Amino acid sequence: MPEAGRGLTMDGGIRPGSTLAQSVSRSPDTPDVASRADLEALPKAELHLHLRGAMPLSYLRTKFRKYPPGRAIESARPRLRDRMLSQAGIRRILSSANPSREAHRLFAYSSFDGFLASYLFTGYFVREAEDLRELVSTVRQTLREQHVTYAEITVSVPEYIMHGIPLDEIMAVLAEEPDGSPTVRWIVDLVRDFGPDACEELLERVLALRPPSLVGLTLGGREHVHPPAPFRRVYEIAREGGLRTTVHAGEGRGPESVWDAVRILEVERIGHGVRAVEDPSLVRFLAEHRIPLEVCPTSNVRTAIYASIEAHPVRMLFEAGVPLSISTDDPSFFGVSLAEELAGLRRVGFSWSEIGDLAHGAFGMAFDPLAAAAQDP
């Protein structure tokens, strides 16, 4: 889940061609990538992907029949209801005699508020453990079709609890490990907007029920309102409980947030982290300490962190030697697949060979290295 951008430019960033080593070294077994078609066929790893952000249209169409949209959002508080109704596509869905036919309009928002309204709306269609199970299954199928063989999927647990699914049932669904590709590992998002005390309490309950497939912790939500520092104890508890750690930082706030993430939360990876580029000493720190950024370029453009892919700092970070994994964040909402996200890097100066190395390198940044290695070509 991304943050609202503020149309930032990259003044004060680092210069291309820095002397630090490239972030990904080419190994002899890296498959050759020389075209978009090669990327499509390449086995890939997704490390920053939100479950609801990957909700397929087919899932929504089915659920609109189970939960007629007008009735589904009746329980929403007036403020949230008004926010959803501000999106023209949602109004069309609600007024249609056949909402399933209009479902695609949910992803045709025209502003960041429209994106948030659509995201909020999808929550009303995952209300029982069976819905969650179907959502997981349809997302897995989408990933399989893209040749994603290893995925770490972020599940914002409080959102599903709010819509009526008890925590133990959520954990039971996450514990299911169906045969076949992709191998899925879960990252729990406690949603920072609930504050450190509530996150701590929920994390304790999650850890008590934790299935082996749940491997990591992140915090999504409004970074500009809830910076990382107050969540230190939450991250200590996660580490004591055996979870690997990442956090959304350097997206809605600048480098100070990324500094706090690495120094106070001591995370192993950073979700987004792209605004680190505004502080050259931080960029050097990330490169020297090999702390990967989970970079989602299309998300950053669609949410106005950067005006265009051409203005995105991914190339500068790469040339400075910061380890990068490329991901899609909320692909259904941003209309992008992982192969498209990777191919888009051609527009900022990456060669096919470098893109292939980045795709391959993501397997080595996984929070379950053994499972990822088993899916690595």
Active site residues: 251
Look at phi and psi of residue 191 and say left if phi exceeds 0, alpha if psi is from -120 to 50, else beta: left
Output the smallest distance, CB 272 to Zn ion, in A.
7
SS3 percent helix, strand, coil of the chain, rounded to 5, is 55, 10, 35
Rounded CA separation 166/157 (Å): 10
Q: Which of residues 1-20 bind Zn ion (CB under 5 A)?
A: 1
Nearer to Zn ion, 127 or 248 (CB): 248
Output the smallest distance, CB 359 to Zn ion, in A.
19
Nearer to Zn ion, 329 or 368 (CB): 329
Output the smallest distance, CB 342 to Zn ion, in A.
17
Angstrom distances, CA of residue 81 to CA of 72, 85, 232, 306: 11, 6, 34, 29
Give CA angle at 288 (285, 294), nearest 5°: 75
- Are 207 and 190 contacting, i.e. CB atoms less than 8 angstroms apart? no
The binding track of 241-280 with respect to Zn ion, each residue x by CB under 5 A or -, is ----------------------------------------
Output the smallest distance, CB 53 to Zn ion, in A.
7
Three-class secondary structure of residue 355 per DSSP: helix
> Looking at 22-30, 139-147, 275-283, 324-332, which segment touches Zn ion (CB under 5 A)?
324-332
- Are 324 and 314 contacting, i.e. CB atoms less than 8 angstroms apart? yes
Residue 329 contacts Zn ion per CB under 5 A: yes
Radius of gyration of the chain (CA): 20
Nearer to Zn ion, 330 or 368 (CB): 330
> Looking at 186-194, 204-212, 321-329, 343-351, which segment touches Zn ion (CB under 5 A)?
321-329
Output the smallest distance, CB 167 to Zn ion, in A.
21
Binding residue count for Zn ion, defined by CB under 5 A: 2
Output the smallest distance, CB 82 to Zn ion, in A.
25
Residue 223 contacts Zn ion per CB under 5 A: no
Rounded CA separation 205/301 (Å): 36
Rounded CA separation 288/21 (Å): 9
Output the smallest distance, CB 2 to Zn ion, in A.
6
- Are 367 and 152 contacting, i.e. CB atoms less than 8 angstroms apart? yes
> Looking at 36-44, 186-194, 197-205, 328-336, which segment touches Zn ion (CB under 5 A)?
328-336
Residue with tokens 């990442």: 246
234-263: burial string, b at 16+ Cβ within 10 Å, e else: bbebbeeeebbbbbbbbbbbbbbbbbbbbe
Nearer to Zn ion, 99 or 250 (CB): 250
Rounded CA separation 244/159 (Å): 22
Nearer to Zn ion, 49 or 283 (CB): 49
Using CB under 5 A, list all residues that contact Zn ion: 1, 329
